[in-house]
Copies of this chain bind each other. A is one copy, B any other.
Amino acid sequence: MDFKIGFIGFGTVGQGLTEILLEKKDMLAKKFDFHYSVVAISDIMKGSVYDENGLDMRKILELVKNGKKLDEYPSGVKGMDALETIKNTNADTIVEVTFTNVKTGEPALTHIKTALQCGKHVVSTNKGPVVKQAIDLIKLARENNVYYGFEGVVLAGTPAINLFEYCLAGNHISGFKGILNGTTNYILTMMEEGMSYDEALKKAQELGYAEADPTGDVEGLDALGKVVILTNVVLGKNITWEDVERKGITDITEEDIEEAKKEKKRWKLIGSSEIQKDGSVKARVWPEKLQLNDPLAGVMGATNALTYYTDELGPVTVIGPGAGRRETGFALLIDLLNINRELKN
């Protein structure tokens, strides 16, 4: 297919995808019969530009990297906001990567709904909409005969949703257990190497793993969103934010770490969900002391991991990055490639 892409939001992740698309254009065409042009970009900070015949994305990246507005692009229509760009351009595929409130899901939720209702495919790494309305959005896409790809919302480009969809389909999955937040796993790793919690947090902030306000990570809120997503999408339940028990890592002391070492165990912040005998689900984000021979115990640093409990294969674990510019950009690419595959036949 020849995708006509419209970017809604154009921050780190959108730029990461753009770099990949530019560098790999020929390979993608040759190997996957995947062709594209970017026709529109609308970003609340950077402005917007639309050209139905396609934008020169090298020029766009240069503008943005020099801190300039998209209005300085030499041609095209300027000034269209997100919804206008979704509705009134010839883009057939929307890459939704706005800065979004993870609790309300807005503005991404409105963008995604609008695009699907307009019969446009959507790929997005925004967690909020999937936390809020995964099931409705998947249904909406199906009703409008388009695709909604959101591989990136769980472990960035590390296979989580697609692993379930394309590799484990046909299994009954009774639960999952994962290291779903890289920042906290990095902090726990550094504490195990002898740092205090405060030192480890500071180091994580220096490396860009943790925000200035680290609450979302260290209190387990980021992992909680992912538990909601996986519970609804993979286990087929319908839970909300409030249904998940939560405890972060801020209470873990250097003594706790030492004690675990002596027991040949290791602290990890685990996001998990398990279908109970009555069909309900027990979902939580909680620090757990794992046996060292647990596949998740060996996952160190900012790396993420996820174990699915399947009826045909038993536990299947995937380990990989959970964040990063190109790593998350790739999540959008794999969704586009799978849409391309579905449309090609």
Contacts and interface: CB of A to CB of B under 8 A. Distances in A.
A283 interface: no
A166 B299 contact: no
A343 interface: yes
Interface residues of A: mostly helix, strand, loop or mixed? Answer: mixed
Contacts of A329: 312
A312 B326 contact: yes
Interface stretch (A119-127, A132-140, A330-338): A330-338
Contacts of A314: 320-321, 327
A158 B316 contact: yes
A167 interface: yes
A54 to B, nearest CB: 21
B163 A167 contact: yes
Given A320-B316, A345-B343, A159 B167 contact: yes
A170 B329 CA distance: 12
A167 B162 contact: yes
A233 interface: no
Give the size range of A's interface with the partner. Answer: 35 or more
A239 interface: no
A316 B313 contact: no
Interface in A159-176: 159, 162-163, 165-171
Contacts of A317: 317-320
Given A159-B163, A159-B168, A170-B28, A313 B298 contact: no
Nearest to A161: B167
Interface of A: 20, 24, 28, 32, 156-159, 162-163, 165-171, 292-295, 297-300, 312-321, 326-327, 329-330, 333-334, 337-338, 341-345
